[in-house]
Amino acid sequence: MSYAELARARYSCRAYEDRPVEAEKLAAILEAGRIAPSACNKHPTRVLVCDTPRLREKAATAAHHFAKKGSVFGAPLVLVVCDKMGAAWLRSYDQMNSGDIDSSIVVDQMMMQAEDLGLSTCWVCHFDPRVAIDELGLPSDLYPVHMLTVGYAADRIADPEAREARTIPMSEFRLTV
């Protein structure tokens, strides 16, 4: 499958089969995130694997709007992606911190690797970081930025016309100056 086909096949899955993600697939997903580029190779991203009922329930407590069957969207696997405080590169001109960007690249690479392995994902940002810190017992130097649910889809991607209707037209996306 070409990258363009992979990108078009990927969607935000919100219902999962009650089937675990195989260890070798999880390892490949984590490796895709580990090798993701980061600003000045600082690699400030850390990932907590929530693959037990207890950890999935704790993740779902933080993302309570999406809690389903003891997990986030009922996923058998939730990856909590964190920024290691003080580890990211800072842009000297305005002190912009690259941590959010770096962790987004990690999630993107893990998400596309999962899709390539026949798994589905949903990138979740609507959760309470304070609740995630408390529930998951994260160290004080880790701040949760994203969750990525992973598993075998129990729903289906919308048809191409419906997807296109929700996508920004190229005429608006591409700027001309």
Each residue of 49-102: pLDDT tens digit? Answer: 999 999 999 999 999 999 999 999 999 999 999 999 999 999 999 999 999 999
pLDDT > 90: percent of the chain: 90
Q: How many CB atoms neighbour CB 115 within 10 A?
A: 19
Lowest mean pLDDT among 14-23, 83-92, 142-151, 156-165: 156-165
Is residue 167 over pLDDT 90? Answer: yes
Domain ranges of the chain: 3-173
For the chain, how long is the longest CA-to-CA vector? 52
The CATH number of domain 3-173, selected from 3.40.1350.10, 3.40.640.10, 3.30.10.20, 3.40.109.10: 3.40.109.10
The span from the CA of 119 to the CA of 57, in Å, is 21
The span from the CA of 25 to the CA of 21, in Å, is 7
**DSSP letters spanning 41-52:** G---EEEEEE-S
Find the DSSP H helices in the chain: 3-9, 23-34, 53-62, 99-116, 129-136, 160-165, 170-173
Is residue 163 over pLDDT 90? Answer: no
